[in-house]
Amino acid sequence: MNSISATTASQRICAAVTPANSLSRIRTKARALFNSLHIRKQPATELLTIINELGGNILRHAGRGEICVEMLIQEGRLGFRIVATDSGPGIADIKKASQPGFSEDNGLGLGLSGITNLSDKVQIDNLLPHGTRVEVIKWLSP
């Protein structure tokens, strides 16, 4: 069985996403993490785009929330788990929300399907009594 082991606490960062700091805190922390691990520019851009997209969803639909980024190692492979949580209204139809073209605010509607294209796993859960948790895992190619 494949086990995914998270590493030490120094390789996990979290930051609040709020209207005041927007996405700057999480972006700065994530950039520093990727730089310290010498992640190449293309995967780093993809990871930062996923973070931005999740953060943009939080700001638009819930107002505030939190994003955590954690380094993973599995069978010598390096990856990242990105978890975005908020206590907003949740997503009415999770399956529909993951399809290209779906948007609750007349946007491009490519966000969640784009994240799916760029990652290996996307898990969306509505939290009780309200809120959303989106977990994304992306493995880097060697």
Partner 1 sequence: MEPFSIFSLGDILMVSVQEEIDDSSIERLLHSLGNQVSKNKAKAVIIDMHEVEVMDTFLAEHIEGLVSFLHMLRSRVVVAGIQVPVALTLIDFNIRLKNVEFALDVEQALSRLR
- The stretches of the chain forming alpha helices (DSSP H) are 24-36, 41-61, 94-97, 111-118
Instruction: Examine residue 39 and tell whether it contacts partner 1 (CB under 8 A).
Output: no
Judged by CB under 8 A, the stretch of 74-82, 90-98, 109-117, 134-142 that binds partner 1 is: 109-117
Q: How far apart are CA 121 and CA 131, in angstroms?
A: 20
d(CA 17, CA 55): 7
Question: Does 41 interact with partner 1 (rule: CB under 8 A)?
Answer: yes
Q: Collapse the DSSP code of 88 into the 3-class scheme (helix H, G, I; strand E, B; otherwise coil) and give the result.
A: coil
* Residue 129 C-beta: closest distance to partner 1, Å: 28
x/- mask, partner 1, residues 64-103, rule CB under 8 A, reads ------------------------------------x---
Angle between helices 111-118 and 41-61 (to 10 degrees): 150
The site for partner 1, by CB under 8 A, has a size of 24
Q: Does 53 bind partner 1 (CB under 8 A)?
A: yes
Rule CB under 8 A: choose which of 45, 74, 99, 123 binds partner 1. 45
| Structure-block tokens of residue 60 | 């638009």
- Evaluate whether 94 touches 122 at the Cβ level (below 8 Å): no
**Which residues here bind partner 1, judged by CB under 8 A?**
22, 24, 27, 41-42, 44-46, 48-49, 52-53, 56, 59-60, 100, 107-108, 110-111, 113-114, 117-118
